[in-house]
Amino acid sequence: MNHPVGRPLPFVVEQAGALAPGRALDVACGQGRHLAWLADRGWAVTGLDADPAALAVAAQRAPGARLIERDVEAHGLLPDDTAAYDLVVVTYFLHRPLFVDVARVLAPGGVLLCETFHEQNRAKRDRPRRAHFALAAGEGRALCQAAGLTVTLSDEGERGDVYTTRVRAEAG
């Protein structure tokens, strides 16, 4: 990929950088690159990931973060966090039922930022290895709309060495 693992994605920086800090959730947060960046800008951050080793690194990168070991594919997002987040970030992780959960945990006016593999990346670069981890053309927008979110930005394209779908959507 064309971005260093430790740095937040330009899409997240551009979009979240324009928002007033509030409560943020990073789904499949990995080692916490977005958590640390958001926390440095005044956000109260929560990260979910199934990998305890990744969460240990995230704890060092974002010391004040609320970190929860959770397999969201098996268990969904946290049930007690209804309308709790002003921002939800999901990058390079795809579990289609998650969009409904995201709509539930976003506060009114809250923003979802999602960037992940597009099916064209599989065709050109054979990544990700499993087809169900890549979005089809228009699918990111459709998943957000089906979950009741208002899509304010949706694009699909090649960025450096990766073809992605990026979606920004808001809760009503």
Residues 78-92 have pLDDT tens digits of 888 888 999 999 999
Among residues 149, 164, 51, which one has the least CA distance to residue 101? 149
Domain covering 10-170, topology: Rossmann fold (3.40.50)
| pLDDT at residue 131 is higher than 90 | no
Residue 11: predicted pLDDT: 97
Work out the average pLDDT over 29-55.
97
Domain ranges of the chain: 10-170
Residue 167: predicted pLDDT: 98
Work out the average pLDDT over 50-56.
97
Lowest mean pLDDT among 2-6, 21-25, 72-76: 2-6
| pLDDT at residue 35 is higher than 60 | yes
pTM above 0.95, yes or no: no
Question: Are residues 27 and 2 in contact, defined by beta-carbon separation less than 8 angstroms?
Answer: no
Residues 134-147 have pLDDT tens digits of 999 999 999 999 99
Residue 83: predicted pLDDT: 81
Strands (E) across the chain are located at 23-27, 44-49, 66-69, 85-91, 106-117, 150-159, 162-170
| pLDDT at residue 94 is higher than 50 | yes
